[in-house]
Chains A and B, each alone.
Chain A
Amino acid sequence: MAERPEDLNLPNAVITRIIKEALPDGVNISKEARSAISRAASVFVLYATSCANNFAMKGKRKTLNASDVLSAMEEMEFQRFVAPLKEALEAYRREQRGKKEASEQKKKDKDRKTDSEEQDKSREEDNDEEQS
């Protein structure tokens, strides 16, 4: 499936917001600068992916994983990103565990509910039998 050129771009609104939050208040960012940063970000993704892929291949794996991305950052001389990325990874994993536990809990509750409903039902049937 061929990607259209627009698909390789990142949404302007989000990029703009990230830039604004990083710079001091009141700094004006020209449209050209914004567009340039957006393009740079896409190139960064490509570069990071290619680099991470090399690490995956070295590890004889076909799937890129988190450690490949972290290794890529070091390789690309963005060591400063490694610590915040590790934090983000931890937060993501916690969140995933939380979601999993929540859905497992829901399932338990559902099973418990179904069991008690069945118990009520059989009690009613017993009552009916007694009456007839």
Chain B
Amino acid sequence: MADMVVGRDKCGEQRLVSLPLSRIRVIMKSSPGVSSINQEALVLTAKATELFVQYLATYSYRHGSGKEKKALTYHDLSNTAEESETFQFLADILPKKILASKYLKMLKEKKEEEEEEEERNNDEESDEAES
């Protein structure tokens, strides 16, 4: 069964890969244009994903504000996505969170800017018309 790569040696050490291959395969196949995946590629992708999880967690912890609190928070992760080039591909799924009130204020300011811009354009047009 291709479900788990059992790499337990005689000493009973850890499996080669802990993530379920069947699930990794489902995700891989959902990628457009992918026809088939050889077993080695599947195993390596699963292993790479584990390495990625470790890396993302440790990087975010080291650079995050939660270090003093001995905690890893969402904030640490979204910081990583925003500030690190390597992890930038995660920016869309790990957006920064802001208070709703702040967001509404931002929207309002943006709207006011746009209205001012429009007024300015109208003035210019009427100036041109007169000259």
How many A-B residue pairs lie within 8 Å, measured between CB atoms? 184
Q: Does B12 contact A (CB under 8 A)?
A: no
Contact of B73 among A22, A30, A52, A92 (CB under 8 A): A30
* A131 / chain B contacts, CB cutoff of 8 Å: none
Minimum distance in angstroms from A58 CB to a CB of chain B? 13
For chain B, give the interface size range.
35 or more
From DSSP, what is the main secondary structure of chain B's interface residues? helix
Best-buried of A32, A40, A48, A63 by chain B (most CB within 10 Å): A40
Contact of A26 among B54, B56, B70 (CB under 8 A): B70
Q: Does A89 contact B (CB under 8 A)?
A: yes
Interface residues in A, total, Cβ within 8 A:
60
Contact check, B30 vs A8: say whether CB atoms are below 8 A apart. yes
Contact check, B74 vs A32: say whether CB atoms are below 8 A apart. yes
Contact residues of A with B, CB < 8 Å?
3, 7-11, 14-15, 17-19, 21-23, 26-30, 32-33, 36-37, 39-50, 52-53, 57, 62-66, 68-70, 73, 76-78, 80-81, 84-85, 88-89, 91-93, 95
Return the 6 tightest CB-CB contacts between A and B, nearest first.
A22-B54, A32-B74, A66-B40, A28-B71, A49-B31, A62-B35
